[in-house]
Amino acid sequence: MKNFQSALTILSITLLFSCSQNGTEEHTHADGTTHTHDQTKETFSIENLVEEVKTVPDSIIEYLHAQHHSHKVLERRTVPPGYESKELKYWSDYAAKVEDLPAINPGPGEYVHVMEGYKHSYRNLVIGITETFPGGAPPMHTHKGEESHVLLEGIILYALGDTLFTIEAPYIVNIPPMVPHAFKNIGEKTANLVVIFPTNVWEYDVLDYFPFKEEE
């Protein structure tokens, strides 16, 4: 019996080591069920993937950008309009599960789960949670307002204005209004970056410049 238990222990350790080596991770829930996911791929479901609404910039948008940087603005992107703001009556109205939020695909290797404030009874808040795969990056873009990036685990290459820098989590990055920026996951696991805006509508303008070379 002891030999059998020892063999099971060795097998468990071997399987755990094998999973970590292959980039997969297994979670055991309170009810005894297990869930395995590849750490280089999405953590959350993307069943609610939607097409971004893309509009051609008008002269006012072009003029605004010209006051802040030398890049050309290609298009403005938003999330499709949704439902009216929730009436906060029950505890479930105060909570939003990530997999229930609309997801967008701004660039290769990146999905963003978007919580727009006006759809969730916030007056001045938008939050996005990224699934940025290794090597993944959004396009170079700007926002009319300020933005904050929060990452608890991972390593990211940033382009902020004319500056390139690498930073390892945990960190918070301050991105001022209308400053061109992008980021690239140069780590080995998916980066779940949290982005925060003091507005209630998801909106950004894509520029005609990509700062990262393929070999980086």
pLDDT the model gives residue 145: 96
- Per DSSP, the three-state class of 52 is coil
pLDDT the model gives residue 20: 37
Q: Of the given ranges (18-27, 90-99, 140-149, 178-187), which has the lowest mean pLDDT?
A: 18-27
* CB-based contacts of 162, cutoff 8 Å, min separation 6: none
**Residues 108-132 as b or e (16 or more Cβ within 10 Å = b):** ebbbbbbbbbbbbebeebbbbbbbb
| CB count in 10 Å sphere of residue 185 | 25
Give the strand pairing for 126-132 and 110-115: antiparallel
Determine the average pLDDT of the residues in 53-80. 96
pLDDT the model gives residue 85: 76
pLDDT the model gives residue 88: 86
pLDDT above 60 (res 7): no
pLDDT above 90 (res 93): no
